[in-house]
Homo-oligomer: A and B are copies of this chain.
Amino acid sequence: MLAAVPLSVKRRAVPGRYRQDAADVSQRELSVTIVAGVRLEASKPAASLDRLVELLRTDLAGVNTLILERMQSPVALIPQLAGHIVAAGGKRLRPMLTLAAARMCGYRPTDDARPRHVALAAAVEFIHTATLLHDDVVDASDLRRGLATANSVWGNKPSVLVGDFLFSRAFQLMVEDGSLKVLAILSHASAVIAEGEVLQLVTSNDTTTDEEAYLAVIRAKTAQLFAAASKIGAVVCDRPEAEELALESYGRNLGIAFQLVDDMLDYSADEAALGKTIGDDFREGKITLPIVLAFARCDEAERPFWRRTLEELDQKPGDLEHAVQLLRKHGALRDTLERARDYGGLARSALDLFRDGPEKRALIEAVDFSVARAY
C-alpha cells in the first residue's frame, strides 16, 4: 500500500503521514519509515495542522477574537448557542486556508487597522458554522430513528435562526472589508453549498447514486468553501488571476480529498480508538463513495442488504459491521482513500506556481494531514 502514497521528497523530506515532528525530519528517518511503513500504518498519523497553526498563531488569535466579538447579541441565546458550536468548532481549517493563502501571496497588514485576511477568515468560519448548524436540523422522521444528536440541546429552530444570524454576520464582515470580488466569491460559494446540501438529501437512500453524482455533492457542499477560502487569500493581495485560480484549485482538491477521507473514516471501525464515532452516514442512509463503490461491485446476493439498510433504513444490530465487511471485501475503503490521495496530489500540484516558503510548506502539510487522518 505504501507505493500508492505520492512521495514528493523534493517538497517534503518524509511523506507527511508518517512524520512525528516536521522539524526533526532527516534522511535516516525517511528510510526507517519506508522500511517500517506497513507496520507503522496502524500508528498515529504524523502529518498535522501544527505547522499551519504555529505559523498563523497571531492571525488565528485575531480570528478567534473577531468571532467572539461578532457572535455577540443582546439576545442572550445567540451567543450561548453560537458559543457552544464555536467552542466545539474544531480545527479552523477553512479560515486557516484564507490566512495562509494571503500570507503566501505576500499580504502584509497595514498599520493598526484590522487585517483584511483576518476579517475574511472569520467570515469564512461563520459561513462554515452556519452550515453546520443548518446541517444539524432534523425531521421528526429522523428523530424516530434516534438520530437527534447535535441539536438535541437547543432544538431545530434556534439552530436554524442562529445559523442565519452567523451567516448575516459573515456578510457584514465582508461588506466592511469592501471587496465586491470577495463578496461575489463567497455569496456564490454559499449558494453552491446550499445546492450541494439539497443534492445530498436527494441522493440519500438512493443506492443508484453513482460516483459522478456523489462527487457533485461533495464538490458543492464541502470543496466549494475550501476553494473560496483559499482563493480570497490571493484576492486581498491583488494577485494575478493565475494565482487566484491556482489557490482555488488547491482548495477545491483539498476539500474533495478531505471529504473523501471523512466518508471513509465513517466506516473505519478500527479507528474508533481515535475518538471518531463511526456509522453516522450508514444510519442516515447517506450514499458516500465507499457505498457507491461497494454497491457497484457487489453481486446479486449482496444487493438486498444495501437496499434494506440504506434505502429502507431497516437496520438491525450487526448491520454496520456487516457493511464494513462488505466494503473491505470489495476494496471500497482502500479505493476511496486512493481517490483522496489523487485529489491531494492535485491540490499539491496547484501550489507549484508559488515560491517555496513556510506558508506553502504548511499548506502542503495540510493536504498530507487531510489524507493521513485515514490512518
Contact = CB atoms under 8 A, between A and B. Distances in A.
Given A161-B134, A198-B75, A191 B175 contact: no
Interface string A106-147: 000000000000000000000000100010011111010000
A156 B140 CA distance: 9
B165 A138 contact: no
A303 interface: no
A66 B91 CA distance: 40
A331 to B, nearest CB: 31
Nearest to A169: B191
Interface string A43-54: 000000000000
Nearest to A78: B198
Contacts of A141: 155
A191 B70 CA distance: 11
A201 interface: yes
Given A77-B201, A175-B180, A191 B168 contact: yes
Number of copies: 2
A178 interface: yes
A164 B160 CA distance: 10
A282 B80 CA distance: 28
A162 interface: yes
Q: When A and B form their complex, which 6 residue pairs have the shortest distance between CB atoms, in order from nearest? A: A168-B191, A165-B194, A168-B190, A171-B187, A164-B194, A139-B155
B164 A190 contact: yes
A285 to B, nearest CB: 13
A162 B77 contact: no
A342 interface: no
Contacts of A73: 195, 198
Given A77-B201, A134-B160, A175-B187, 11 more contacts: A75-B199, A130-B164, A137-B156, A141-B155, A161-B194, A161-B197, A164-B194, A165-B195, A169-B191, A175-B180, A175-B184
Interface string A151-175: 0000111101110110111011001
Given A180-B178, A202-B77, A160 B137 contact: yes
A150 interface: no
A161 B157 CA distance: 13
Contacts of A198: 73, 75, 77-78, 158, 161-162, 165
Contact of A191 (B165, B188, B191, B194): B165
A340 to B, nearest CB: 25
Interface in A262-310: none
A318 interface: no
A75 B213 CA distance: 11
A74 interface: yes
A127 to B, nearest CB: 10
A78 B188 CA distance: 16
Contacts of A178: 180
Interface in A305-345: none
B143 A140 contact: yes
B157 A138 contact: yes
A119 to B, nearest CB: 14
Nearest to A183: B175
